């Protein structure tokens, strides 16, 4: 069964804890924590203190941290200390990928590498054996509620095959515009982990939405 990571970017920040409890009870497997610095992407979201508070309120949840920031290296330790389980950063960021991956592991977290829609999937291959997760962006990072970009499906299929051919099994995650139609397409293409923001938080029946995504 596909796993579901709920992107809290689509939550009501005035009721963050309550909204997170609601999607976890509805069937989300983890919380996707989108960090934006206003530099790597043209938007600013939230950072370490918010993760720290959320973790204190919901210590049992697993935190899937997605860093859309230009300099991930200098923040790895702080996010790890604040409660991250997985830390994913962008190949297009300014730091050396191997250094960032090593820092994430040294901080006791799983390491994920993400690519934007314009970056070919082959660009992650040199790092594949060091990673626990690869995140394929199916929208331009920066905002929730955008339309799914279908070329992400080919990237997932390519990575699925590349992993199998190398005897590797990092989780393949997809993020952006995932709903009851595109979620199943991603799962068929090889995704293990679906990120859903607006579709899940905006659903009248979050449990039904989570089921539709996870049975993908």
The minimum distance between CB 193 and ligand DX5, in angstroms, equals 12
Distance CA 189, CA 198 (A): 22
- The residue (of 46 and 168) whose beta carbon lies closer to ligand DX5 is 46
Q: Which residues bind Zn ion (CB under 5 A)?
A: 34, 66, 175
The distance of closest approach from Cβ of residue 189 to Zn ion in the complex, given in angstroms and rounded to an integer, is 18
Q: Please choose which of ligand DX5, Zn ion, none residue 214 contacts, taking the beta carbon within 5 to 8 angstroms, the exact cut-off set by kind.
A: none
Question: Which of 100/195 has CB closer to ligand DX5?
Answer: 195
Chain residues in the site for ligand DX5 (CB under 6 A): 7, 9-10, 32, 34, 66, 68, 139, 141-146, 175-178, 195-199
Q: How far apart are CA 158 and CA 207, in angstroms?
A: 31
**Which of 66/214 has CB closer to Zn ion?**
66
Ranked by CB distance to ligand DX5, the top (closest) residue is 197
* Among ligand DX5, Zn ion, none, residue 146 binds (CB under 5-8 Å by kind): ligand DX5
80 binds, among ligand DX5, Zn ion, none (CB under 5 to 8 A by kind): none
């Amino acid at each position: 069964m596909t796993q579901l990571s709920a992107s809290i970017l689509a939550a009501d920040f005035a009721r963050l804890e309550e909204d997170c409890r609601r999607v976890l009870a509805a069937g989300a497997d983890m919380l996707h924590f989108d960090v934006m610095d206003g530099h790597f992407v043209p938007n600013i979201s939230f950072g370490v203190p918010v993760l720290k508070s959320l973790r204190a309120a919901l210590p049992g949840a697993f935190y899937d941290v997605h860093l859309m920031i230009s300099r991930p290296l200098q923040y790895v330790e702080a996010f790890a200390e604040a409660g991250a389980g997985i830390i994913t950063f962008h190949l297009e960021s300014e730091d050396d990928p191997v250094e960032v991956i090593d820092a994430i592991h040294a901080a006791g977290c799983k390491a994920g590498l993400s690519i934007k829609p314009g970056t070919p999937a082959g660009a992650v291959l040199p790092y594949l054996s060091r990673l626990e997760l690869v995140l394929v962006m199916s929208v331009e990072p920066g905002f929730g509620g955008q339309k799914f970009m279908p070329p992400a499906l080919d990237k997932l299929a390519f990575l699925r095959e590349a992993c199998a051919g190398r005897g590797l099994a990092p989780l393949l995650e997809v993020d952006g515009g995932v709903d009851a139609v595109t979620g199943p397409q991603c799962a068929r293409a090889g995704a293990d982990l679906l990120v859903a923001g607006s579709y899940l938080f905006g659903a009248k029946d979050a449990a039904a939405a989570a089921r539709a995504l996870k049975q993908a």
